A = this chain, B = another copy of it.
């Protein structure tokens, strides 16, 4: 492979036009869509309209006049096709951690079982939230097992199988239908964190057998820093579940200001407080970047970008071990490579305008967001990594660890 083959692939890319929907700074190679998606070109105007015209001019009347009250549902309608779920089975709002808390506690209320089964390498905040729940309810247990022991651990005491679809470090992608079905067979509910999947891979919440899911708005959905998150519950459970955080926006008639709580029908009962309208406006601009795209191409391109990067790295940086699955079907839309000086190398790459993430322990992560990443970006990133390694520039004290945020 070469820059020329990269360019040829870009010319054939059926999603190439999607990149024009984003503002990516000139000269920057941004391989960090799985920490923060790039800014949609439509975002500044969409947000400015909400700020200046809706908030500034129309003030409180905007809840009706500009449909603020329906904005979570409007976002759900746009998210529906991306994750293949009926918008009525989705809810937008709060953070992924808060939504995960709501779903876990609500799901425990559905069952007499008391064990949450998860993978020991699951995303930390998912482990923290679940572990926090065991402090609240001492009869609840969080059981962490290695990936290869998940299926055999699905016993009759398991209430919920909680997994992240695409691992935030290795990029390992679980087989959602098979594991959801295994959970179902043992009478457990499945709860998927699809934060590193939604917007990057073709996926089907409604067709996967998942009982519940949560996901992030600021990664591949391009909703802006700290964007609202989303959650999904299979239709048949919705009316049987109650949110542990019953706030007024989840009330059947919030503006009646009745003294007692009656949960709204369906997913709306999982709303709690008033959502940030500015954050939802930005998320809507992010979701709009998917409009009219053939979503089957998402995964094709993510797979092909990953395969191309593996090939380019093998050629240019043959000594850098890949720590992600080699087979596209086993991975999501990012790759990690190992190096003892991974932190410093990532800093040296950032100084060269190639943005990836450092992740503990010793991992360089490169997110290949299919809407914004070109094959030539991947080639140029691989070349930059080779240059940084060959020059040894990463050993400069300038790139040593100093900041809290990596």
Contacts and interface: CB of A to CB of B under 8 A. Distances in A.
B278 A47 contact: yes
Contact of A94 (B30, B48, B98): B98
Interface string A84-106: 00000000001111100100010
Contacts of A248: 97, 124-125, 128
Total copies of this chain within the assembly: 2
A157 interface: no
Contacts of A260: 127-128, 131
B97 A245 contact: yes
A124 B276 CA distance: 20
B51 A273 contact: no
B225 A68 contact: yes
A132 interface: yes
B64 A244 contact: no
Contacts of A144: 259
A128 B254 CA distance: 11
B276 A276 contact: yes
Nearest to A247: B97
A62 to B, nearest CB: 7
A124 B278 contact: no
A318 B52 CA distance: 38
Contacts of A57: 25
A23 to B, nearest CB: 5
Contacts of A39: 51-52, 55-56, 59
B98 A247 contact: yes
A120 interface: yes
Interface in A35-70: 35-36, 38-39, 43-44, 47-48, 51-52, 54-57, 59-64, 68-69
A226 B276 contact: yes
A298 interface: no
A7 B52 CA distance: 29
- Residue from A43, A69, A129, A357 whose CB has the most chain B CB atoms within 10 Å: A129
> Which 9 pairs of residues, A with B, have the shortest CB-CB distance?
A95-B273, A97-B247, A97-B273, A132-B246, A225-B277, A125-B248, A276-B279, A39-B56, A226-B276
15 contacts: A44-B52, A47-B47, A47-B48, A47-B278, A64-B405, A94-B94, A95-B273, A97-B249, A101-B245, A101-B272, A132-B244, A226-B276, A255-B360, A255-B404, A276-B276
